[in-house]
Amino acid sequence: MTKHVGDIIKMPFHEYHAAAQEAARRAAVVLEDWRQKFQVREKGRFDLVTDADLAAQKVIQEYLSERFPEHGFLGEEDVGPKGRPSADAPPTWIVDPIDGTTNYVHDCPLYCISIGLQIAGELVVGVVLDPCRNEMFHAARGTGTWLNERRIRTSTTGCLEEALIATGFPPDLRDNEQTLDWWRHFSFKARSLRRTGSTALNMAYVAAGRFDAYYAFDNHVWDVAGATVLIEEAGGRVTNVDGSVYDAYTPDALATNGPLHPLMVETFAAGFNQL
């Protein structure tokens, strides 16, 4: 039987929360070991995968499977179909072993490990670990969002003119020119824009109040699963760009501090008619 959100929030998440953090730490050790000695391949044009991605995911999966053998696992580097778990699926770990692989390949310190847990269709635990800065963003439903040992909250910015907004670009911009159109659109409305190359870090920074909003049109569920809970538990909001209830298995996402959300939804609605 499918659980309601209220029932899910009452579940004891401490063990899952702690395990996700430990799995991320183990993967960070793997990434450090592999730095500057890995081989690089392309999954698709401009979309990279390294030996480090594969090794880090293997460590995460082995650890979580040993701890919770009844759980499912969905990783970016899985071979074969990677669709939405069925309604009656067991708790499922959703993992991106390196979010920001291109940055990692170039030794640019803007990449992270992202781990989320989905139960009965709801994302309930999230961890995003930045191994370069030793920053562990983590949250579970009903417990707030934390950066290492410090509780964090989203910002209070309420107008675009004062907002620092992040976005993401697809690996191949051809046939995705709307990404450039929106970059130009917000460049004239916001204080400034950032593109870090890591969706999970972008969203974690929204949770921490470093960014005021994030939007993109080309996400995968493993990009966002770890960070969605971070934002919501920190006081922010995550929806699709039209303001509808968020579906992490769709490519578009809008994550904000909360006060900016109606304005961003309104801006997208008006902009789609203009671009």
Residues 151-175: what's their mean pLDDT? 92
206: pLDDT strictly greater than 80 = yes
Residue 253: which H helix or E strand, with range? strand 253-256
- How far apart CA 53 and CA 77 sit, in angstroms, is 7
Section 19-44 average pLDDT: 86
Separation CA 126–CA 227 (nearest Å): 6
Name the percent of the chain lying above pLDDT 90.
76
164 CB-near residues (< 8 Å, 6+ apart):
190, 191, 192, 193, 194, 210, 211, 212
Q: Does the pLDDT value for residue 135 go beyond 60?
A: yes
**What average pLDDT does this structure show over 257-261?**
98
Q: For 246-256, what is each residue's pLDDT tens digit?
A: 999 999 999 99
Interval 159-165 mean pLDDT: 97
Higher pLDDT, 36 or 198: 198
Q: What is the structure's pLDDT at 167?
A: 97
Instruction: Write the pLDDT tens digit of every residue in 47-72.
Output: 567 888 999 999 999 999 999 999 99
Mean pLDDT to the nearest integer, 146-165:
97
In the block, tokens 């003119």 appear at 161
Q: What is the pLDDT of residue 13?
A: 86
Helix segments in 208-260, DSSP class H: 221-233
Is the model more confident about 221 or about 48? 221
Whether 271 shows a pLDDT value over 80: the answer reads no
Measured from the Cβ of residue 29, the count of other Cβ atoms closer than 10 Å reads 12
Distance CA 136, CA 128 (A): 6
Tell me the average pLDDT across 82-104: 92
Backbone angles phi, psi at 234, to 5 degrees: -90, 0
The residue-averaged pLDDT of 109-125 equals 96
Amino acid at 58: K
**pLDDT: is 236 or 38 the higher one?**
236
Band (pLDDT 50/70/90 cuts) for residue 4 is: very low
Per-residue pLDDT at 37 exceeds 50 = yes
**Nearest Cα to Cα of residue 151 among 230, 214, 210:** 230
CA–CA dist 169, 196 (Å, integer): 10
